[in-house]
Amino acid sequence: MLVVENVDVNYGAIRALVDVSLEVHEGEIVALIGANGAGKSTTLRSISGLVKPNKGRILFEGSELQKCPPHKVVEMGISQVPEGRRVFPLMTVLENLEMGAFTRKDRANIKDDIDKVFAKFPRLEERKKQPAGTLSGGEQQMLAIGRALMSKPKIMLMDEPSMGLAPMLVQEIFNIVKEINQSGTTILLVEQNARMALAVANRGYVLETGQVVISGAAADLAKNEAVQKAYLGV
């Protein structure tokens, strides 16, 4: 479904990604784990068009993405839950969700989909008229996920959804990730919380200084000694 082929990204003289290749198949949850600065977010950003790769190709359902601007990428069915949530702080919860549906042509169904998001996140419904900036971190994360769902994506890119959240909320967010996947959305998940990420994912890739060093089934990665030592703190 999504193929990243030999992608290089340079920020000036700094090589953020070196020859990164990965694949996401339809229906999967794929986890991208690694330390700070390993290139996880850069990988997502190059898929969503926020940074342009210097080399390599990115294919989504057969068409090339690497030259598409971000809004075109969304139209193709890829939506991103950006790092740090990035809700629109002065817009209400409801308006944030409506912004998520910006690219959709089927205006009539949007209301139903907002109700679906509210069914998934009842807390958002309670606060639908509140400015998003006044929500707690966990609620903002839910809103960011809900907003990304509003574009009816085929695949969702999630950048550190557990960042800065209390442990109980982290569990809740990962349950939601699983639920969204079960209802038919493919997920590419970037996480520092490797243990949780590998617990929900089907497959995983480990990034180190811009390169994919290990990849495989999530269960195997969780058992891999090197991974355990470096990322799971065993």
**Residues of the shown chain interacting with another protein in the complex, contacts defined by CB under 8 A:** 48-50, 69-71, 74-75, 79-80, 82, 86-91, 95, 98-100, 102-103, 112, 115-120, 125, 147-148, 151
Q: Shortest gap between Cβ of 18 and another protein (angstroms)? A: 24
Comparing CB distances to another protein, the nearer of 3 and 50 is 50
Instruction: Answer whether 47's CB lies under 8 Å from 157's CB.
Output: yes
Burial 65-82 (b: 16+ CB within 10 A, else e): bbebeeeebbebbbbbbb
CB of 99 to another protein, least distance (A): 5
Give 50's DSSP letter.
S
Q: Which of 57, 78, 20 is nearest to 210 (CA)?
A: 20
Please calculate the CA angle 187-67-149 and round it to the nearest 5 degrees: 30
Q: Of the two residues 143 and 206, which places its CB atom closer to another protein in the complex?
A: 143
Q: How far is the CB of 87 from another protein (least distance, A)?
A: 7
Q: How far is the CB of 6 from another protein (least distance, A)?
A: 25
Question: Residues 6 or more apart from 39 whose CB is under 8 A from it?
Answer: 9, 16, 17, 20, 207, 209, 210, 211
Nearer to another protein, 96 or 224 (CB): 96
Q: Which phi-psi region, left, alpha or beta, contains residue 19 (left: φ > 0; alpha: ψ -120 to 50)?
A: left
Q: Which is nearer to another protein, 103 or 192 (CB)?
A: 103
CA distances (Å), origin 102, targets 98, 110, 114, 129, 156: 7, 10, 13, 19, 16
Decide if 145 contacts 79 (C-beta within 8 A). Answer: no
Q: Which is nearer to another protein, 143 or 196 (CB)?
A: 143
CB 69 within 8 A of CB 49: yes
CB of 194 to another protein, least distance (A): 25
Name the residue nearer to another protein (CB basis): 60 or 231: 60
**129/168 with CB nearer another protein:** 129
Measured over all CA atoms, what is the biggest interatomic distance in the chain, rounded to whole angstroms? Answer: 52
For residues 87 and 143, the answer to whether their CB atoms sit within 8 Å is yes
Nearest distance, CB of residue 232 and another protein, angstroms: 30
Query: CB of 92: closest distance to another protein in angstroms?
Result: 11
